[in-house]
Amino acid sequence: MNVPIHQMSGIGEAATPLEKLNLFTAHDLLFHLPRDYEDRSTIIPIRHAQVGRTVLLQAEVKSVDFPMGKRKSMSVQIQDETGKIHLRFYHFYKTLIEQLAVGKQVRVFGEVRLGSRGLEIYHPEIRPCTEPLPEAQQLTAIYPTTEGLKQAKLRQIITRCLTQYACDLPELLPAGIATTYDLQQA
């Protein structure tokens, strides 16, 4: 449990940002608790997307533009059978452009905003439709993070740490409470 993160597999360059979060050992990672949870298991129709809500959409890429302006940006219009919405990116790369080619079906996760072209999502997470959805009732943990350490990477590191070291944790819940509320041990 006191294994330094530098000795754990899969950490690599993430060690420096982890240390910024005061995470130095497997024990520290096991007790780096989520600050929130998101439901990424339910796809909603675009017409039900509301400003201020975080949504999971599945739609076809209809157009990709690189509008001229103060900042370099990419604007993508996606559409399902119920409506359309724009995606806006200020930081993009070749593989993202390839993922968002016209005609491709994609899953998009992000917060809906009202923009100059109507409903927009800034810097959504993009996944191909070939990836399976999380099981119903499965929530995605959102951890406190820092620059240079993305949520997906931190989730991967913590999941690996839980798999390797959680069995070494002592049970903190009194047996009577576990029995009363029919709680399983980890």
Domain boundaries along the sequence of the chain: 5-35+143-180, 39-128
Is the pLDDT at 131 greater than 80, yes or no?
no
**Domain at 39-128: CATH architecture:** Beta Barrel (2.40)
Q: Compare 18 and 178 and report the one with higher pLDDT.
A: 18
Mean pLDDT lowest among 93-97, 133-137, 145-149 = 133-137
52-86: pLDDT as tens digits: 999 999 999 999 999 877 888 899 999 999 999 99
**Between 36 and 170, residue with greater pLDDT:** 36
Taking the C-alpha atoms of residue 27 and residue 40, their distance in angstroms, rounded to an integer, is: 28
Q: What percent of the chain has pLDDT over 90?
A: 63
The encoded tokens of residue 24 equal 């130095």
Q: Which residue has the tokens 């909603």?
A: 44
pLDDT of residue 129 exceeding 60, the answer is yes
Angle at 185 between CA 183 and CA 186, to 5 degrees: 125
